Amino acid sequence: MKNTAILLFSMFSIFGFSQNKSDDRLQIIEDKLAIKNVVDVFSNLADTKEIDKQVLLFTVDGVVQSYNNGQMSSNLKGRKELKDRFSAFLDNFQTVYHQNGQQTIDELTSNSAKATSYCRVILVWEQNGKQLKTTLYTIYKDEFVKQNGTWLIQKRTSNFVRTEVEEVFPIGG
């Protein structure tokens, strides 16, 4: 039995299997899922206009920089400014709907990460008695930090690469 254990240990060592490598791989998978969850929860909370909860996904000094067709349109810093501006913006819309697409983790350490995420944002609003739908095609470049075991957005760069506006008609209307 002792010889079998030594043989198995030797084989694991020779082929690069170790508890530490397995633990490291598991931690990487958990971190990637947690980061994806932050992005998805951000979108869900925007859709339900729960801005108080949404800003808690950012560090206290979190930054959001927005670009439209390559031109900076806003530079927000800190949870209070994020809350005020996100709330004021979303108040303009009857319906807010995010469709998150692919995400890549571009860099990952034990306490920081960079990711790229694609999203289609649909906003329905009214102007001059007409219902309009704005569709924003967005690429997010996010920088995350892990604080007290929780991943938070430290900086988000929102690149709105295409905007479409069209009139929509209610069902049965």
Burial of residue 121 (number of CB atoms within 10 Å: 0-12, 13-18, 19+): buried
Q: CB–CB of 147/54 below 8 Å?
A: no
Spell out the per-residue pLDDT of the chain, length 173, in tens. 555 545 444 444 444 444 578 889 999 999 999 999 999 999 999 999 999 999 999 999 999 999 998 999 999 999 999 999 999 999 999 999 999 999 999 999 999 999 999 999 999 999 999 999 999 999 999 999 999 999 999 999 999 999 999 999 878 75
Interior/surface letters 2-28, b for 16+ CB within 10 angstroms, e for the rest? eeeeeeeeeeeeeeeeeeeeeeeeeee
Q: CB–CB of 73/67 below 8 Å?
A: yes
Among candidate residues 53, 56, 57, 60, the one with its CA nearest the CA of residue 77: 60
β-strand 112-127 against 130-147: which pairing, if any?
antiparallel
Q: pTM to 2 decimals?
A: 0.85
Q: CB–CB of 60/101 below 8 Å?
A: no
Among candidate residues 92, 168, 99, 98, the one with its CA nearest the CA of residue 125: 92
Q: CB–CB of 106/114 below 8 Å?
A: yes
How is residue 126 written in tokens?
């009214």
Tokens 């339900």 sit on residue? 48
Helix (H) / strand (E) containing 67: strand 58-68
What is the C-alpha separation between 111 and 96, in angstroms, rounded? 32
CATH class assigned to 20-167: alpha beta
- Beta-carbon contacts of residue 97 (< 8 Å; ≥ 6 apart): 47, 121, 122, 123
